[in-house]
């Protein structure tokens, strides 16, 4: 079912994501998606994630849709100017892709083509504004579109544990005003901080815009430390790092990461309208996480 | 001063509050300065707003000179709630760094091939032709943000530093902090901003 409908019904929404391959043979990614069949409401497809050139997000969404999944087309402003962005969004409409996640995108310097031209002709806010225009039957320049206007469910992102939080909230407000209909968050490990963020959201924007808390499965101590050093708005507390350290075999097999993720989901569930899992290649572990969290039988 | 044009009046006064001080730059005006339009505009402002003073200095972009002048005019400056500057983006940023009051541009700085102004300066102006300093506390999002974003921070900064370089400050965090310190964080909640690239080509 379409995400929009699920939000309307007030269902606790569960999404996950897959990253397309570095190559054109997409079968493996589609097989990965099979672990999620019947377990999640929608699957995000990342767009050249971390600025690493890969198979396209739009084509992957198309293949997922063909196989009966509900895709969320992630689109960044890093690689396309306003013409290409609008063109791809119209193409998505024709492929029956209804859910978009509109992002600014990482800088190309962080990826495998650091010498590439950073485009950023639009940013996440102006991209949401642009899609809203398309939904009104005109393009960004005001030219009329032929035929029926496309209809989408527009997602955006926010980092709820970022410090300082205020710049995040002001940008979130701009995204809501531009037309964002739901939010997926950066990885959450600090439930208290997330609760405070949700309180701010409630005070400032009410409860009309659903928030899906982001869950990144912890694979190792090194990964946790790397995120603390390098990933904006993410902090893995010491007690979770200790838990990963305690039983090396259990952590290596993924069991610790699954347990932590399931526990976080249980704690976050009363606070928000859904969760978005970012398994980073560990999609096969998603069913165990959801079952331990009590979201699936 | 680089080559400038007058900003639309409604844009200049959209965010000013209370009593206004006008500062105009006369440095390198032999290159080009829309003197006639600026004078007319100033007259209109004087008829509609409380203007505390109308100052003309040369080479606002020269940090040392400007610092001394500001020091000498401290009392006049303290009387104003907002300051409008008629100069290029560099001059405006220098003044803004020296005064803890909201500073707004009266001009857009136009792109000129091969001409980068006369005073070497830490403040950079991209000569984008559509000055955004009026809502970013005079910190340029085009030159201080690695992605030149216009609608807020990307979420990639960690501990105030940009995702592309741990030595580089996040321009948007600086903008936010400065607006907050001026009590004007409301300015950021405005409309969606888009670049107009016809002005640089």
pLDDT digits (tens, 9 = 90+) for B37-69: 999 999 999 998 899 999 999 889 899 999 999
Residue A281, pLDDT > 70, answer yes
Give A137 or B158, the one with higher predicted confidence: A137
pLDDT at A1: 64
A287 min Cα distance to partner chain B (Å): 30
Does residue B17 contact residue B107 with C-beta atoms inside 8 Å?
no
Cβ contacts of A171 on chain B, cutoff 8 Å: 151-153, 155
pLDDT at B127: 87
Give the CA angle between residues A258, A264, A265 to the nearest 5°: 90
Nearest partner of B9 among B76, B86, B77, judged by Cα? B86
Does residue A112 contact residue A90 with C-beta atoms inside 8 Å?
no
What is the C-alpha separation between B159 and B175, in angstroms, rounded?
15
Of B150, B163, B185, nearest to A170 by CB-CB distance is B185
In chain A, pLDDT over 70 holds for what percent of residues?
Answer: 100
Residue B130, pLDDT > 60, answer yes
Token digits of residue A134: 């398309």
pLDDT at B151: 94
pLDDT digits 0-9 by tens, A126-184: 999 999 999 999 999 999 999 999 999 999 999 999 888 888 999 999 999 999 999 99
Domain covering B4-131+192-199 in this structure, CATH number: 3.40.50
Residue B29 — pLDDT band, cuts 50, 70, 90? Answer: low
B73 min Cα distance to partner chain A (Å): 34
- In chain A, the number of structural domains is 1
The whole-number average pLDDT for the span B143-166 is 93
Distances (CA, A) of A259 to A241, A266, A272, A291, B1: 13, 11, 20, 11, 62
Residue B115, pLDDT > 70, answer no
Token digits of residue B182: 């001026």
Residue B116 — pLDDT band, cuts 50, 70, 90? Answer: low
pLDDT at B40: 93
Identify the residue among B136, B139, B141, B153 best suited for mutation to test binding to A, counting A beta carbons within 10 A and taking the highest.
Answer: B153
Cβ contacts of A110 on chain B, cutoff 8 Å: 163-164
The whole-number average pLDDT for the span A56-82 is 98
The whole-number average pLDDT for the span B103-131 is 81
Residue B200 — pLDDT band, cuts 50, 70, 90? Answer: confident
The whole-number average pLDDT for the span B153-173 is 92
A38 min Cα distance to partner chain B (Å): 32
pLDDT at B114: 66
pLDDT at B111: 80
Of A107, A157, A170, nearest to B152 by CB-CB distance is A170
Residue A30 — pLDDT band, cuts 50, 70, 90? Answer: very high
Give the CA angle between residues B60, B64, B66 to the nearest 5°: 35
pTM of the shown model: 0.91
Residue B185 — pLDDT band, cuts 50, 70, 90? Answer: confident
In which element (H, E) is residue B63 found? helix B63-72
Identify the residue among A166, A171, A228 best suited for mutation to test binding to B, counting B beta carbons within 10 A and taking the highest.
Answer: A171
Domain-located, residue A296: no
Looking only at the bridges linking them, the beta strands covering A99-103 and A182-187 are unpaired
Of B152, B164, B193, nearest to A107 by CB-CB distance is B164
Residue B1, pLDDT > 60, answer no
> Across-strand partners of A14?
A275
pLDDT digits 0-9 by tens, A87-132: 999 999 999 999 999 999 999 999 999 999 999 999 999 999 999 9
Interchain contact, A120 vs B193, CB within 8 Å? no
Classify residue B18 by burial, with Cβ atoms within 10 Å: 0-12, 13-18, 19+: exposed
**Chain centre to alpha carbon of residue A158:** 10
Interchain contact, A122 vs B194, CB within 8 Å? yes
Non-local CB neighbours of A49 within 8 Å, separated by 6+ positions: A19, A106
B195 min Cα distance to partner chain A (Å): 7
Show the beta-strand stretches assigned E in chain A.
Answer: 13-18, 42-45, 71-76, 99-103, 153-158, 182-187, 211-216, 274-278
Q: Is the peptide bond before A164 cis (omega within 30 degrees of 0)?
A: yes
Q: Which of A158-172, A254-268, B8-22 has the highest mean pLDDT?
A: A254-268
Non-local CB neighbours of A229 within 8 Å, separated by 6+ positions: none
**Which residues of A lie inside 8 Å of B (Cβ-Cβ)?**
104-107, 109-110, 118, 120-126, 129, 140, 157-159, 162, 164, 166-168, 170-171, 173-174, 178, 186, 230-233
In which element (H, E) is residue B83 found? strand B82-86
Give the CA angle between residues A218, A223, A225 to the nearest 5°: 115
A56 min Cα distance to partner chain B (Å): 22
Instruction: Inform me whether the C-beta atom of residue B189 falls under 8 Å from chain A C-beta atoms.
Output: yes
Residue A280, pLDDT > 80, answer yes
What is the C-alpha separation between A84 and A119, in angstroms, rounded?
11
> Across-strand partners of B55?
B23
pLDDT at B117: 62
pLDDT at A143: 98
Interchain contact, B155 vs A129, CB within 8 Å? no
The whole-number average pLDDT for the span B21-38 is 84
Q: Which residue has the tokens 């080009």?
A: B32
What percent of the residues of chain B are helix, what percent strand, and what percent coil, each to the nearest 5?
35, 15, 50
Mean pLDDT of chain A: 96
Instruction: Inform me whether the C-beta atom of residue B164 falls under 8 Å from chain A C-beta atoms.
Output: yes
DSSP A234: -
Token digits of residue A280: 């980073």
Domain range for A25 is 3-289
In chain A, pLDDT over 90 holds for what percent of residues?
Answer: 94
Residue B34, pLDDT > 80, answer yes
Interchain contact, A164 vs B195, CB within 8 Å? no
Interchain contact, A170 vs B154, CB within 8 Å? no
Question: What does R_g of chain B's alpha carbons equal in angstroms?
Answer: 16
DSSP B7: P
Distance separating the N- and C-terminal Cα atoms of chain A: 20
pLDDT at B119: 67
Interchain contact, B153 vs A173, CB within 8 Å? no
Give the CA angle between residues A250, A255, A259 to the nearest 5°: 125
Residue A3 half-sphere exposure toward CB, CA atoms < 13 A: 36
**Residue A121: which CATH number?**
3.20.20.220
Does residue A20 contact residue A57 with C-beta atoms inside 8 Å?
yes
């Amino acid at each position: 079912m379409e995400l929009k409908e699920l939000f309307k019904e007030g269902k606790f929404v569960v999404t996950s994501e897959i990253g397309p391959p570095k190559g054109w043979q997409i079968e493996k990614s589609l097989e990965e998606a099979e672990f999620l069949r019947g377990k999640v409401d929608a699957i995000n497809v990342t767009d050249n994630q971390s600025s690493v050139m890969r198979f396209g997000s739009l084509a992957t969404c198309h293949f997922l849709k063909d196989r009966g999944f509900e895709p969320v087309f992630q689109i960044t402003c890093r690689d396309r100017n306003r013409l290409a962005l609008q063109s791809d969004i119209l193409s998505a409409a024709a492929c029956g892709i209804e859910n978009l996640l509109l992002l600014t995108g990482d800088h190309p310097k962080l990826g495998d083509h650091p010498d590439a031209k950073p485009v950023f002709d639009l940013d996440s806010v102006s991209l949401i504004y642009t899609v809203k225009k398309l939904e009104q039957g005109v393009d960004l320049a005001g030219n009329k579109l032929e035929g029926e206007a496309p209809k989408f469910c527009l997602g955006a992102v926010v980092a709820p544990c970022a410090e300082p939080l205020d710049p995040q909230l002001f940008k979130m407000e701009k995204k809501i005003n531009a037309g964002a209909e739901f939010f997926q968050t950066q990885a959450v490990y600090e439930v208290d901080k997330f609760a405070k963020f949700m309180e701010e959201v409630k005070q400032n924007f009410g409860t009309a815009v659903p928030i899906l808390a982001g869950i990144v499965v912890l694979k190792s101590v090194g990964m946790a430390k790397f995120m603390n050093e390098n990933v904006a708005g993410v902090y893995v507390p010491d007690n979770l790092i200790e838990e990963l350290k305690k039983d090396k075999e259990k952590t290596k097999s993924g069991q610790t990461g699954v347990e932590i993720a399931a526990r976080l989901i249980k704690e976050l569930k009363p606070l928000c309208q859904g969760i978005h899992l970012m398994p980073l290649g560990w999609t096969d572990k998603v069913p165990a996480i959801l079952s331990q969290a009590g979201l699936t039988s | 001063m680089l080559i400038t044009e007058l900003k639309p009046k409604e844009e200049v006064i959209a965010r000013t509050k209370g009593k206004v001080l006008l500062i105009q730059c006369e440095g390198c005006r032999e290159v080009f300065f829309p003197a006639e339009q600026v004078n007319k505009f100033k007259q209109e402002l004087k008829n509609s707003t409380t203007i505390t003073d109308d100052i003309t200095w040369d080479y606002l972009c020269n940090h040392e000179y400007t610092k001394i002048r500001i020091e000498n005019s401290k009392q006049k400056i303290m009387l104003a709630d907002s300051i409008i500057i008629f100069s290029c983006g560099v001059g405006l940023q220098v003044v803004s760094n020296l005064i803890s009051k909201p500073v707004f541009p009266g001009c857009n700085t136009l792109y000129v091939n091969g001409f980068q102004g006369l005073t070497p300066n830490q403040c950079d102006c991209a000569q984008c032709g559509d000055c955004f300093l009026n809502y970013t506390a005079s910190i340029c999002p085009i030159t201080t943000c690695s992605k030149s974003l216009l609608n807020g921070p990307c979420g990639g900064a960690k501990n105030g530093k940009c995702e592309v370089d741990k030595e580089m400050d996040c321009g948007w965090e600086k903008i936010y902090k400065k607006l907050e310190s001026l009590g004007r964080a409301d300015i950021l909640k405005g409309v969606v901003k888009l670049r107009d690239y016809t002005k640089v080509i």
